[in-house]
């Protein structure tokens, strides 16, 4: 395969995963071109990171300016398609994507989630892991489908849970692994690619 991936990143927050992807790309460690960063929040730190990094398309779209989720997602999709991006990378994007959006980019939307899916899907994965009393958690890079945090799993990293952990300490250690795993997974997609057999991801051998 061995090609550079042209990606759009959708983010709602401070943009730490976006930043590590941009840094890895600029250092030649991850063969991607971040062509666009799109956020639903005007105050998102991800937008500032994108502007500082010289990303060609930095876009804020306000969901309140659209009559419903589907029309907002359609506007996002049109902006992404106009940039010629092949992949969409969710990096702390806090809106649930509509089915129409997901079907428009089948098998080309990635997300990273702070648990070892299928355990603890949803917005409170770190808190849920602590409350359940698990001794191991972690993070998962997966394809996005129409089930929340339910798409095929591309990569995972394990993080131990310490007895004195709270939400912040555990999340910080999970994010360390996220920042390693996300660029690595994008690199593997660019250099090797994969095929799907049902839910099972079969990685190709790199050229």
CA–CA gap between residue 67 and residue 40 (Å, rounded): 15
- Helix locations, 87-203, DSSP H: 99-104, 125-132, 167-191
Side-chain-facing half-sphere of 177: CA atoms under 13 Å: 20
Separation between Cα atoms, residue 89 and residue 24, nearest integer Å: 15
The answer to whether 178 touches 139, Cβ cutoff 8 Å, is yes
- Write the CA distances from 80 to 8, 113, 179, integer angstroms: 7, 22, 24
- Residue 30 and residue 23: Cα distance in Å, rounded? 9
Q: Which two tokens stand for residue 141?
A: 């890079």
**Cβ within 8 Å of residue 10, ≥6 positions away:** 37, 38, 39, 76, 88, 89, 90, 91, 93
113, 142, 171, 179: the active-site residue: 113
CA distance 103 to 173: 33
Annotation says 142 is catalytic = no
Q: Which residues are catalytic?
A: 113
């Amino acid at each position: 395969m061995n090609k550079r991936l042209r990606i759009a990143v959708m983010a709602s927050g401070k943009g730490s995963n976006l930043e590590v992807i941009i840094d890895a790309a600029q250092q030649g460690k991850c063969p991607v071109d971040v062509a666009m960063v799109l956020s639903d929040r005007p105050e998102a730190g991800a937008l500032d990171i994108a502007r500082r990094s010289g990303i060609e398309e930095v876009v804020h779209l306000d969901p309140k300016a659209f009559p419903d989720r589907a029309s907002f997602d359609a506007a996002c999709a049109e902006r992404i398609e106009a940039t010629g991006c092949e992949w969409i990378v969710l990096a702390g994007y806090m809106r649930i994507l509509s089915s129409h959006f997901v079907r428009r980019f089948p098998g080309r939307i990635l997300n990273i989630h702070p648990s070892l899916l299928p355990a603890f899907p949803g917005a409170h994965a770190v808190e849920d892991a602590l409350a359940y009393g698990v001794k191991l958690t972690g993070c998962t890079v997966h394809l996005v489908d129409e089930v929340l945090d339910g798409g095929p799993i591309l990569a995972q990293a394990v993080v131990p849970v310490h007895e004195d952990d709270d939400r912040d300490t555990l999340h910080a250690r999970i994010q360390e692994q996220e920042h390693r795993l996300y660029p690595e997974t994008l690199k593997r997609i660019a250099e090797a690619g994969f095929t799907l057999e049902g839910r099972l991801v079969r990685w190709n051998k790199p050229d």
